[in-house]
Amino acid sequence: MKPEQSKKTDPLPLLLLVEDSQTTTALLSKYLGGGYRILHANDGVQAWEMLETNPEIALVITDIHMPNMTGHQLLVKIRKDENDRYKNMPVIVMTTADDNIDRNLAFLNGANDFISKPIDEMELVARVNVHYRLARTIRELEASQHALSELATTDPLTKLRNRRAFFENGAKALAMSRSYMSDLSVILLDIDHFKKINDTYGHRAGDGALVMVADLLMELSRTEDTVARLGGEEFALLLPDTNRLGTAVLAERIRSAIEREQFIVGDKIIPITASIGIASLGVDPAESIDQLLGVADNRLYLAKKSGRNRICVNDEGRTTFA
């Protein structure tokens, strides 16, 4: 019986058979060859090399007693590795029917199931198919959960983190900052005269402006930063290990980059600018991410009040700390 395939054109699942006996290898290849592509390794060392270089491997069948690296050692290596794809990879161990010691040790090392020698074809095929389908179902569920998580934390238009994700990451960053006495800052940004862009050129142009700004923010930020669209034309950046001077420098770089960028609608170049407020933990009156954003929001208001297309770094409306 062949395992179910999601599409008729899909290749057969790839199975790694780890066995130093040519006779057993030939027999299992005959039994399973109709439903699986068989990749053969003579020992655990060769098997591990194949696992590392063949991400398509969906299931492992291994003997216990082999030269260089035993089946037990291979099991331990698979289960202790940090690669997520090994977490739910089925590993079926071949043992003799009366070898309870090897069975118990294999269970402790993370084996999913056992096949007793001599091999029964129907039992082998049934067990392999069950574990392949179960592992595939788990992978599909994990992929669905990941997709749902992304939907719940991602702004659908700009693909940035959304408000919820910003505050979730902010709570973690705040805890880290307090634990390690490290810097933490935020940037709050608002596109100037955004309503006028929408009213004059249409919502499609407005969406394009939002995406353009989002792309620039991602280009100018670091991997460890959280870049989010909080709503409307408002964006925020969460900056771990960044003091107020570094935050001001980045804010000015962002402002300048947005001003320089050419946003074209039809045959017209539409000027896009942004006003920015910043705040830093420890030097500004804030004990939470919400309060930190509140400080940045007040300074964003001052930047707009002072003429827009500028940054504001303190409550006096200054644009630099110099």
Catalytic site residues?
233
How many Å apart are CA 221 and CA 216, to the nearest integer? Answer: 9
How many Å apart are CA 206 and CA 233, to the nearest integer? Answer: 9
How many Å apart are CA 155 and CA 143, to the nearest integer? Answer: 19
Q: Which helix (H) or strand (E) holds 245?
A: helix 244-260
**How far is C-alpha 3 from the geometric centre of its chain's CA atoms?**
30
Phi and psi angles of residue 93, each rounded to the nearest 5 degrees, phi first: -105, 135
How many Å apart are CA 17 and CA 61, to the nearest integer? Answer: 5
Residues sharing a CB contact under 8 Å with residue 55, sequence separation 6 or more, in sequence order: 85
Sign of CA dihedral 246, 248, 253, 254: positive
